[in-house]
């Protein structure tokens, strides 16, 4: 009687799989998010096929629910990050963001050129190696309870800068595919717009909220502080896409602004059930998008291994160099935290497939790289934070 | 870059409109839900046209979000209703449910036959007058804080019975449209299945949870009681559609089962942010589905007025007679609480339009009746509960 019936079954299966996968991961001392991604991969077309690729394609109901889930996740991460926290790490975040874009871009374009592609074309491929997906790292940092740590703040700040630069870069390389000419001024305008958006919302919004947030409690609706900040989250998520940034950047800014209110604690408590219900869909969908079939032959596997190595090494090196003044251990944590490409790489790859810039193998390689980098990061990050904590507890090795 | 961008804007606009509408309604001493429905109507195709009918059609992302919202609403209503509460009002609920189906069915088929339709055809039209939409009444009862009252429990119990009978009736009248023959046994099988489903889940599930619910806390996931009961809610919502019942009946049962756990209080606290975020979408979508254009001429308006009168009078009379032993005031409250048809009427009307049983005027009349009955009920119910409370505070008039 209602097409919603099939979707309900799918949501039920995805949610149960996420719970089981997450629980299993926790038992193995891995972050729950790893289990959720793997659960998605198992349910997806590559293994069981219970989640068809059509039902999680871009713009479908399940995709939208997943997107709302990651938006709320970044909102709640922003809620744990105030402007003062980010300002304190501003210089490092800038260095990590910039180096974390340049290194993968140079390495990946050289690799793609080595595969026989023209430079302009290679640079498009390289653009898919650039953008860090903050969602996965943010979730791991949240699960580990280390969002207050300096490294975590640098990673989050760098992810915002990274997204701005990646957007600029994608604009340049897409323009280069056409007439071979890149018109500088429109691109600079877009860049200035994105920087201005982040600055105005981040600084202006935080300042406004610090001045007083009693008005959030003024409406008769008893949950008005939550409702108003969620409205702001949806609005800024949309607005940031108008400035060519990912929706999650706007959601993160909304959370940061909400972190300046005196209702911060109440907001953090009430967003956690929202995350418990909605974010698992995002990670299951991410996992279900892995198509192992396309990578089953030796050639595909070798290309994937190479792409993955470049993706990991280039981000770790870029992040490490940017944060080296914090000491080697912290710099390495920052570098590893920047590794996941997640949905941003997948989106660029889809764009390439649609415009004919990528063939289906290169597409699968980039999608595989994006997703494997996301699966590999959480356990590595968890392990590093735990061993850093363990060594900090031994006075001999602490600074 | 992503079709989700447009949906995000739509969600933002809908959510803000719901907040403003809800707040305005509260200021006018009306339930917030009235403001949310009216906000949807204003944003919808009839007035501003900001929400296109294609973007809220069945199976779209926004429709799914709305559906998830009403499912969570009924889950939370179930959470405030335990099996013992329902058992105490079982006899009344049965009488209200049965009479509340027979009266509208008889009145509406007579009316449709009077319009010139054949009896079989008229009975199909009448089926759209039968099913109460528990969502709207439940939300009003929750807003007024009267879910613990006897009348509220009778309404909720009767809504479950009502849905079972409406399902049976729709099966019969749909079968009658074909060869004119109705095969009794398959229908009785379906009926028995639905009754069995409600009994097994309601009784069995509650008994299981009463025996012990410590296992809900066993997983390492700190929000596991919420996550597990939400999974159960999605699963039962889907399963109830397999037994030809509305998804919200399954969600209500899931909430009722969860109400027997010792984590009940914690669950109620953590579902309220979920409702604050998701249920407004359901009510805005309900409002946006009103198409005033189809009813702009005198003939259409007259038909609508008649249909609405039948819809209201027949349910009030049916409910009143079923609950008369509670006293006139309470019986009237129960009758009024059964009035909203909401989405069930809309779904039956869509089915009729698709199969050619309804022309576009009759379709608009039934949709208009379903939605207006939903808009009219909340203020009436709120007023009645408040004046009952006021008179109860004067010892002279209290029983």
List per-residue pLDDT tens for chain A, 399 residues long.
456 788 899 999 999 999 999 899 888 877 787 788 889 888 988 788 888 878 887 788 898 998 899 889 888 878 877 777 777 788 888 899 899 999 999 999 999 999 888 888 888 889 889 878 777 788 888 888 888 888 888 988 888 788 777 766 776 776 666 555 566 677 777 778 888 888 898 888 888 888 877 788 878 787 888 999 999 999 999 998 888 777 888 888 898 899 888 888 889 889 999 999 998 998 898 788 777 776 778 888 899 999 999 999 999 999 999 989 888 988 999 999 889 876 667 667 767 776 778 877 888 888 788 878 878 888 888 888 888 877 776 654 444
Are A11 and B234 a contacting pair at CB < 8 A? yes
The answer to whether the beta carbons of residues B64 and A65 sit under 8 Å apart is yes
Residue A238 corresponds to which tokens in the numbers above?
């949309």
Q: Give the DSSP letter of residue B186.
A: H
ipTM of the complex: 0.80
Which of A231, A272, A276 has its CB closest to that of B12?
A231
Tell me the C-alpha distance between A344 and A134, whole Å. 10
Are B231 and A16 a contacting pair at CB < 8 A? yes
Residue A161 corresponds to which tokens in the numbers above?
């800068």
Tell me the C-alpha distance between A16 and A18, whole Å. 5
Predicted confidence (pLDDT) at residue B43 exceeds the cutoff of 70 = yes
For chain B, percent helix, then strand, then coil, each to nearest 5?
80, 0, 20
Are A5 and B241 a contacting pair at CB < 8 A? yes
Lowest mean pLDDT among A246-250, A325-329, B65-69, B268-272: A246-250
Average pLDDT over residues B228-256: 88
Q: What is the pLDDT of residue A287?
A: 80
As a whole number of Å, the CA-based R_g of chain B is: 21
> Which of these, B289, B302, B313, lies nearest to B370 by C-alpha position?
B289
**Mean pLDDT in chain B?**
83
Tell me the C-alpha distance between B12 and B339, whole Å. 31
Interface of B with A in 257-286 (CB under 8 A): 270-274, 276-277
Lowest mean pLDDT among A97-106, B84-93, B201-210, B373-382: B84-93
Give the CA count within 13 Å in the CB-facing half-sphere of A24.
12
Are B241 and A27 a contacting pair at CB < 8 A? no
Average pLDDT over residues B223-247: 89
The phi and psi torsions of A101 (rounded to 5 degrees) equal -100, -45
Lowest mean pLDDT among B37-41, B50-54, B155-159: B50-54
The answer to whether the beta carbons of residues B337 and B385 sit under 8 Å apart is no
Determine the residue of chain A that is closest to B247 in CA distance: A5
pLDDT level of residue B128 (50, 70, 90 thresholds): confident
Interface of A with B in 147-186 (CB under 8 A): none
Give the tens place of pLDDT for each residue, B320-365: 999 998 889 889 999 998 898 766 676 677 677 767 788 778 888 8
Predicted confidence (pLDDT) at residue B247 exceeds the cutoff of 50 = yes
The answer to whether the beta carbons of residues A331 and A323 sit under 8 Å apart is yes
Residue B230 corresponds to which tokens in the numbers above?
């939400």
- Number of CB pairs < 8 Å for A and B? 165
pTM for the model: 0.82
Are A61 and B58 a contacting pair at CB < 8 A? no
Give the tens place of pLDDT for each residue, A52-102: 878 887 788 898 998 899 889 888 878 877 777 777 788 888 899 899 999
Q: What is the pLDDT of residue B253?
A: 87
Q: What is the pLDDT of residue A181?
A: 59
Average pLDDT over residues B42-57: 83
Q: What is the pLDDT of residue A56?
A: 82
Q: How far is B54 from chain A (nearest CA, A)?
A: 14
Tell me the C-alpha distance between A130 and A105, whole Å. 6
Are B238 and A22 a contacting pair at CB < 8 A? no
Interface of A with B in 240-259 (CB under 8 A): 241-242, 247
The answer to whether the beta carbons of residues B76 and B134 sit under 8 Å apart is no
Task: Express as a percent the part of chain A with pLDDT over 90.
Answer: 21
Are A64 and B63 a contacting pair at CB < 8 A? no
The answer to whether the beta carbons of residues A51 and A113 sit under 8 Å apart is no
Q: What is the pLDDT of residue B16?
A: 96
- What's the start-to-end Cα distance of chain A, in Å? 66
- Partner A contacted by B321 (CB < 8 A): no
Q: What's the sign of the alpha-carbon dihedral B46, B50, B53, B59?
A: negative
Are B19 and A227 a contacting pair at CB < 8 A? yes
Are A221 and B67 a contacting pair at CB < 8 A? no
B70: CB partners within 8 A, 6+ apart: B135, B248, B279, B282, B343
Q: How far is B279 from chain A (nearest CA, A)?
A: 12
> Which of these, A375, A383, A143, lies nearest to B221 by C-alpha position?
A143
Are A234 and B11 a contacting pair at CB < 8 A? yes
Average pLDDT over residues B247-272: 87
Predicted confidence (pLDDT) at residue B398 exceeds the cutoff of 60 = no
Residue of A13, A174, A238 to mutate for B, most B C-beta atoms under 10 A: A238
Q: Select, from the ranges A3-12, A228-237, B44-53, B182-191, the one with the highest average predicted confidence (pLDDT).
A: A228-237
Are B15 and A231 a contacting pair at CB < 8 A? yes
Residue A163 corresponds to which tokens in the numbers above?
């997204």
pLDDT level of residue B175 (50, 70, 90 thresholds): low
Which of B2, B15, B32 has its CB closest to that of A58?
B2
Lowest mean pLDDT among A245-249, A293-297, B21-25, B100-104: A293-297
pLDDT level of residue B12 (50, 70, 90 thresholds): very high
A156 vs B106, which has greater pLDDT? Answer: B106
The DSSP element (H or E) to which A344 belongs, if any, is helix A342-354
Tell me the C-alpha distance between B358 and B266, whole Å. 47
Tell me the C-alpha distance between A149 and A293, whole Å. 40
B-chain residues near A271 (CB < 8 A): 273
CA separation, residue B344 to residues A243, B134, B340, B358 (Å): 41, 10, 9, 16
Number of H helices, E strands in chain A: 17, 0
């Amino acid at each position: 009687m209602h097409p919603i019936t099939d979707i309900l079954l799918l949501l039920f299966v995805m949610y149960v799989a996420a719970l089981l996968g997450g629980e299993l991961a926790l038992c193995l001392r891995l972050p729950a998010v790893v289990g959720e991604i793997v659960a998605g991969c198992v349910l997806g077309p590559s293994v069981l096929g219970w989640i068809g690729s059509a039902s999680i394609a871009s713009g479908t109901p399940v995709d939208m629910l997943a997107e709302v889930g990651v938006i709320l996740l970044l909102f709640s991460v922003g809620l744990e990050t105030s402007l003062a926290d980010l300002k304190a790490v501003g210089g490092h975040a800038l260095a990590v963001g910039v180096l974390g874009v340049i290194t993968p871009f140079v390495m990946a374009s050289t690799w793609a050129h080595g595969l026989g592609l023209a430079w302009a074309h290679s640079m498009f491929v390289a653009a898919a190696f650039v953008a860090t997906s903050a969602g996965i790292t943010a979730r791991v940092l949240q699960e580990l309870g280390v969002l207050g740590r300096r490294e975590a703040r640098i990673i989050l700040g760098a992810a915002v800068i990274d997204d701005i630069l990646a957007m600029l870069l994608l604009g340049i390389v897409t323009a280069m595919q056409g007439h071979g000419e890149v018109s500088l001024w429109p691109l600079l305008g877009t860049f200035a717009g994105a920087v201005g958006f982040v600055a105005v919302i981040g600084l202006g919004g935080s300042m406004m909220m610090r001045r007083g947030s009693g008005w959030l409690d003024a409406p008769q609706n008893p949950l008005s502080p939550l409702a108003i900040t969620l409205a702001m989250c949806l609005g800024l998520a949309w607005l940031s896409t108008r400035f060519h940034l990912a929706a999650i950047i706007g959601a993160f800014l909304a959370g940061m602004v909400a972190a300046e209110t005196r209702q911060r604690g109440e907001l953090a408590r009430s967003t956690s059930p929202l995350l418990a219900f909605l974010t698992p869909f995002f990670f299951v969908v991410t996992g279900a998008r892995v198509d192992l079939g396309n990578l089953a032959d030796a050639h595909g596997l070798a290309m994937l291994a190479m792409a993955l190595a470049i993706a990991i090494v280039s981000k770790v090196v870029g992040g490490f160099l940017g944060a080296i003044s914090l000491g080697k251990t912290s710099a390495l944590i920052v570098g590893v935290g920047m590794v996941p490409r997640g949905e941003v790489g997948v989106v660029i790859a889809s764009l390439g497939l649609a415009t004919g810039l990528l063939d289906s193998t290169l597409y699968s390689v980039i999608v595989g790289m994006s997703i494997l980098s996301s699966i590999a990061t959480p356990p590595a990050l968890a392990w590093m934070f735990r061993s850093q904590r363990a060594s900090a507890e031994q006075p001999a090795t602490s600074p």
